[in-house]
Amino acid sequence: MSELFPMVPKIAFEGPLSDRDLAFKHYDPSAKAIGPVGGADGNATMKDALRFSMAFWHSMTGAGIDPFGSATMQRPWDGIADPMEVARVRMRALFELTEKLSIPFFCFHDRDIAPEGATLRESDRNLDTMVAFTKDLMKSSPTKLLWGTANLFSNPRYMHGAATSPEPKVFAYAAGQVKKALEVTKELGGQNYVFWGGREGYETLLNTDMKRELDNLARFLHLAVDYAKEIGFTGQFLIEPKPMEPTKHQYDSDAAACYAFLAEYGLLAHFKLNIETNHATLAGNTIQHELRFAREHGIMGSVDANQGDELLGWDTDQFPTNLYVCTLMMYEVLKNGGLHSGGLNFDAKVRRGSFKPEDLAIAHIAGMDSMARGCAAAARMLADGALERPLAARYAHWQSGIGATIASGKEDFRSLEAFALDITDFGLASGRQECLEAVVNRYL
Ligand code: XUL
Ligand code: CO
């Protein structure tokens, strides 16, 4: 088969001193991974440990359109009229690029990989054709499916929501679409299945029965859990939090809101989270906050690795290159013992001006090198106890004396009042924030 990206060679690791754009400087796919992501036997490679993934929608279907301008991207499928042929060329391109970049996984929405038909039946037929084509490519490729998902937000039928639409026919259509997407994800060996509720929320409470919508969303997710069980799909279910965009208020607004929803509706046993950096910042949280919350509540599932722009308030989905953020992200991932069945999916698009085909490879290299550097820095911080030792010292008073008796439940308000009545010196220590920020900088 002829190459679709002849300008992109197989990308090699050349070390930090290399000045070639099309080379890895930090991500050495075959190097042994460090720390807790090295696998139970400590033998996993960096490639296995970081579990990078390419997002089909940004890299293969993204055209560079924005609200003020049309497509800019130069792509190998330009000029092909037949939508099914475009779909085939895109899928071949996905495999060619993931292999050249040593990216072990990809992710897709049902409607990314096959054109939508006039009916669900017709869309399913197109999808079946493309799934067979993809399965064939996978036979001779190392690239695997990290997760599949259904696009329940682009078509006008979803303008008021999918599972949370006021119209039950839309709920039914979305159910049919997710049923099929689950079958397809299983067929392609997907290790997870994602629900991102871009239209599950409201534009105004004046027309919204919020309780009914949340009940319906929970019912929908329970139906998905039941169907996965029925067909023997054993991948991990993930919810992807995002507070807004396209909808004004989205119900899965952040990790804590998702946790409360999953707990209330008896879904915690079945779901973890797919946490995205730019969604965290839209929610007014850092990615470290979101990952920390998820890790400490046992729901860290996977990561959509990207970044926003400090000066823009929307989801710009840029490739992650901020080393400080990458380090603190990987710190949480390492503390979690790795991502397990999850991965680091580049839910990121090249800028509209980065329209050349090679920019796609260069952008992924930039993201992979940045995450690899973050991983190495975080592993060194952990090995040295650079943050853990001061943290333990800060809370040391909970190990003995009144701290220990409070923590073990032996105190009540009366006993605590008696203890506190005459205290004048609390012996407070400095929070040492600037000192700790400087510690992190030493490892970057
Ligand atoms: C949208 C977003 C989605 C999900 C999958 O902001 O992140 O692409 O990752 O639907
Ligand atoms: Co995402």
Whole-number pLDDT of residue 40: 67
Q: Cα 53 from chain centroid?
A: 10
- Asked if residue 193 has its Cβ within 6 Å of ligand 1, the reply is no
For ligand 1, atom 4, name the residue with the nearest CA.
196
The type of residue at 36 is P
- Asked if residue 242 has its Cβ within 6 Å of ligand 1, the reply is yes
Nearest-ligand number for the alpha carbon of 56:
1
Give the Å distance between the CA of 304 and the centre of ligand 2. Answer: 5
For ligand 1, atom 5, name the residue with the nearest CA.
196
Question: Locate tokens 């400095």: which residue?
Answer: 430
By the 8 A CB rule, do 279 and 242 touch?
A: yes
- Asked if residue 252 has its Cβ within 6 Å of ligand 1, the reply is no
For ligand 1, atom 3, name the residue with the nearest CA.
196
- Asked if residue 240 has its Cβ within 6 Å of ligand 1, the reply is yes
Q: How far apart are CA 303 and CA 32, in angstroms?
A: 22
Give the Å distance between the CA of 10 and the centre of ligand 2. Answer: 27
Whole-number pLDDT of residue 147: 99
H-helix segments, 117-235? 120-139, 168-187, 210-231
- Asked if residue 283 has its Cβ within 6 Å of ligand 1, the reply is no
Nearest-ligand number for the alpha carbon of 305:
2
By most ligand atoms within 8 Å of CB, the mutation choice from 193, 276, 279 for ligand 1 is: 276
The type of residue at 377 is A
- Asked if residue 196 has its Cβ within 6 Å of ligand 1, the reply is yes
Nearest-ligand number for the alpha carbon of 315:
1
- In order along its 444 residues, the chain shows pLDDT tens digits of 799 999 999 999 999 999 999 999 999 999 988 776 766 677 788 898 899 999 999 999 999 999 999 999 999 999 999 999 999 999 999 999 999 999 999 999 999 999 999 999 999 999 999 999 999 999 999 999 999 999 999 999 999 999 999 999 999 999 999 999 999 999 999 999 999 999 999 999 999 999 999 999 999 999 999 999 999 999 999 999 999 999 999 999 999 999 999 999 999 999 999 999 999 999 999 999 999 999 999 999 999 999 999 999 899 999 999 999 999 999 999 999 999 999 999 999 999 999 999 999 999 999 999 999 999 999 999 999 999 999 999 999 999 999 999 999 999 999 999 999 999 999 999 999 999 999 999 999
Helices 323-335, 287-296: inter-axial angle, 10-degree rounding: 0
Active site residues: 109, 112
Nearest-ligand number for the alpha carbon of 192:
1
Residue 277: name the closest of 301, 319, 299, 306 by CA.
306
Give the Å distance between the CA of 334 and the centre of ligand 1. Answer: 24
By the 8 A CB rule, do 216 and 170 touch?
A: no
pTM equals 0.97
For ligand 1, atom 10, name the residue with the nearest CA.
196
- Asked if residue 108 has its Cβ within 6 Å of ligand 1, the reply is no
The pairs formed by 19-23 with CB atoms below 8 angstroms and a separation of 24 or more are: 21/358, 21/362, 21/365, 22/358, 22/361, 22/362, 22/365, 23/365
- Asked if residue 194 has its Cβ within 6 Å of ligand 1, the reply is yes
* Half-sphere exposure at residue 96, Cβ-oriented, CA atoms within 13 angstroms: 22
Ligand 1 atom with the shortest distance to the CA of 58 = 8
Strand bridging mode 249-250 / 201-202: antiparallel
DSSP 232: T
By the 8 A CB rule, do 100 and 5 touch?
A: yes
Whole-number pLDDT of residue 42: 72
